[in-house]
Amino acid sequence: LETYSYNRYHPMGEIYQWMSEIREKYTEVVTQHFLGMTYESRPMYYLKISQPSNNPKKIIWMDCGIHAREWIAPAFCQWFVKEILQNYKDNQRIRRLLKNLDFCVLPVLNIDGYIYTWTTDRLWRKSRSSHNNGTCFGTDLNRNFDASWCSIGATTDCESLTFCGTGPASEPETKAVSSFIESKKENIACFLTMHSYGQLILVPYGYTKNKSNNHEELIQVGQKAANALKAKHGTNYRVGSSADILYATSGSSRDWARDIGIPFSYTFELRDNGTYGFVLPETQIQATCEETMEAVLSVLDDVYEKYWYTNSAR
């Protein structure tokens, strides 16, 4: 763990190993939890960072790597965990957050796909489930959630990059995440799903131009985060609803999370703007993670303020 490089992309075996070492080194704040198995029977685990407290806690969910080729996303999830753990004792801001918030981080959601990008096809996007008698592979897990499933910006053609699967949550990875989120939804304040690329902070919805009932607040919090991000290294992000500033998509995890009642639900599209696209050089990992950390902390500060319970803790 002392030699683990956060400026590198890591194959899945190293990420599993990293999770075990994190859990062993920070036993007092970190636990590792099983979420379910992938299509190819690999275990999915999330890390929970939680400080003992008498306050009622809200949960922050963050997943990375739902799309296999977006390697900067898993790199950020690991960076985020590292930053929290290295700083929670001395850093006021992080200590404060942990008083009322638990962080649940899933470093790689689409594990089978991620492995495939290391072994076979760097630009693979989908999961690795088999369809049409083994003639085509992979579901777009970010079209597989039960949010106006397979209506717009998704297709039932299994050859397509945006294949929605055979039904809402037909894929074991989707099922694992959605069952967990559903079971805790009353306590989940914030759902963050990390992608690349495009430099965007996206709010619901993708499946309609309609806005959620807290849209203005989501935009405000998102814009403040984008400002904090820009202040770090000057990177420009745009903030808006998916359908407005990106493109229409049904079945995304973020829309689904908002629809089941999670108030702060965001998709982050990390660097870059297309120069390298999905194949962001390792030399940009550090700056990308540093600036994204600023944005995420800004969101979390706002979520924290919103869910303030006890003035005595202040």
Residue 254 as a binder of Zn ion (CB under 5 A): the answer is: no
d(CA 173, CA 169): 8
- 269 in catalytic set: yes
Residues 6+ apart with CB under 8 A from 98: 29, 49, 50, 51, 53, 84, 88
d(CA 226, CA 168): 32
The answer to whether the beta carbons of residues 225 and 301 sit under 8 Å apart is no
Site string for Zn ion, 181-200 (x = CB under 5 A): --------------x-----
Tell me which residues in 3-62 interact with ligand 0X9 (CB under 6 A): none
Q: Could you say which of 195, 226, 258, 264 contacts ligand 0X9 (CB under 6 A)?
A: 195
- Which of 216, 269, 291, 294 is labelled catalytic? 269
Residue 59 binding result from Zn ion, ligand 0X9, none, given CB thresholds of 5 to 8 Å by partner type:
none
The answer to whether the beta carbons of residues 118 and 125 sit under 8 Å apart is no
Span near ligand 0X9 by CB under 6 A; candidates 47-55, 90-98, 251-259, 295-303? 251-259
Span near ligand 0X9 by CB under 6 A; candidates 102-110, 170-178, 241-249, 292-300? 241-249
Residue 199 as a binder of ligand 0X9 (CB under 6 A): the answer is: no
102 strand-pairing partners: 59
Give me the DSSP letters along 1-47.
-TT--TTS---HHHHHHHHHHHHHHTTTTEEEEEEEE-TTS-EEEEE
Q: Which is nearer to ligand 0X9, 58 or 254 (CB)?
A: 254
The answer to whether the beta carbons of residues 34 and 44 sit under 8 Å apart is yes
Active site residues: 269
Which residues form the interface with ligand 0X9 (CB under 6 A)?
67, 70, 142, 195, 202, 206, 242, 246, 249, 252, 254-255, 267, 269
